[in-house]
Structure 1
Amino acid sequence: MTEGTGCDIIFKETSARGKGNEKYMIYEIADLRIQIKNRCSFTTEFCKGYLAADQAQPPDLSAAASEQAFSEEKKSCPAYSDGYIENICIYRDLCLRLPRLERFLLHAAVLDYKGEGYAFLGRSGAGKSTHTGLWLKYLPKAKILNGDKPIVACTESGFYAYGTPWMGKEGRGEKGRASLKGLCFLEQAKENSLVRLSEGEVASRIFTQLLLPTDEENAAKTLELADALISAVPAYLLKCTISEEAVKLSFEALTGKSYEREI
């Protein structure tokens, strides 16, 4: 997982990750109170916009970077700072624990349009950043909720996507949530076309966009939540060019609104 925090922060050490430097702070993320244990100052600064005002009440969940996880990540990314690597490991640990609280990580870019969320998914290079950027260009009321790694929650009133401090390499997103109303899988093409996907077709595509826990209980719960999402939220395949026409196609299918009346 890679976050857009700037090269200076990614590669320069801001503090040593030594024992005795532990910080325990509670943050409000995805409507949960999450206690994060970190040693480097990177995560403290990174998550400061989500710091809970009340630090006395118990957390719903705790997350930290284990020594093993940190060591393995450091070996694969030796040029990155300790703080940046610790931050990556913390979010992974958090997301692996989320399913028991009816939440999971979805690799997608989520747009908020008038309080409703639309998730754009696809393989690396499919054009998520480009297409969502075109929404922002042509639809003034659209905004990025999370550019890459939203948390999705299953609630009694439906599915919600959340902005979190972790929002992808471009750092696009904001604090908040939106009712998740549509999924749109993207593929690059020379002509624009859009089709509604069956639940089976969605299943074959979406599972590569999940972070699947290794323990049986949370893995099973993640798949259960994904199945519920597939059943509850319509999904489409958009084969697209970099054009306003592609925006119109996805906008009208996802929102059910007339594009011309909204621009």
Structure 2
Amino acid sequence: MKNLTSLCAAGALSICLAPNLAQAHFQLVYTPETMVEKPGDVPVGLIFWHPFENGHAMDMPRPEQVFALSHGRRIDLGPSLSEATFKGAQNEAVAWRASVPVRKMGDYVLVTVAAPYYEQSEDLYIQQFAKSYLNLGQLPSDWADPVGLATEIVPLDKPYNIPAGGTFTGRVLSQGKPVVGAEIEVEYLAATPDLESFSAGPATTEPLPGGALVVTSDENGYFTYGVPRAGVWGFAALGTGPARTHEGKALSQDAVIWIRAWDMK
């Protein structure tokens, strides 16, 4: 993979020897609903976790940025941040609560720029740029627009009403330019967080044998994934950000997007 090669060239030999580079580490930006029917303050959970297997949760440093975009206007969610303890099936970890003021009909793109997290087992830092989506009134507005992050996945399908059994297509960008051959891990939110108790519910399925689900981007940065079941799905393009080191260690800057799929009735 080209991104893995770049990190190796930066001197991160330990990454080259680890086939599961930052495997299944996913910055979750979670709201109980993706489509809301009336204005109000919507709670958001920011959790750094392994949700497919309801696995280990990592202590999340205070995010560098948390904001929403609505009709092109940026809404700073930093003042709403409060530290919380997330209780997963395996352990407890530092996480964060936030809320987004939903007032105007349309899309709300929720963005978290996480602070670099040191993964001791791989001797590298991980920084994820994560997006998820809310909509009020079923009026689309901002969902297809790039945010302008150092690296991001831009959806080509409306990300909050994907039909289960259909496909999702995204485009991986780094500094606004398409990334060729990006390695993109696919995650399923098998254990749903309860934002009142800030704990994980029981897992509804298990990861498939063979390790992480992975797709790659084409020569124009596009990838397509067949979404097999309803629920919340995540995609993380690994090592696609421009920075390669942090505090003398290798750094993987990852683009993360969360989508919602529905069964057709």
Say which structure is richer in helix: 1
TM over 0.5: no
Q: TM-score range by the shorter chain?
A: under 0.3
Q: TM-score of the superposition, structure 2-length normalised? A: 0.27
- Higher RCO, 1 or 2 (CA under 8 Å, sep at least 6)? 2
Say which structure is richer in strand: 2
Q: Which protein shows a greater Rg?
A: 1
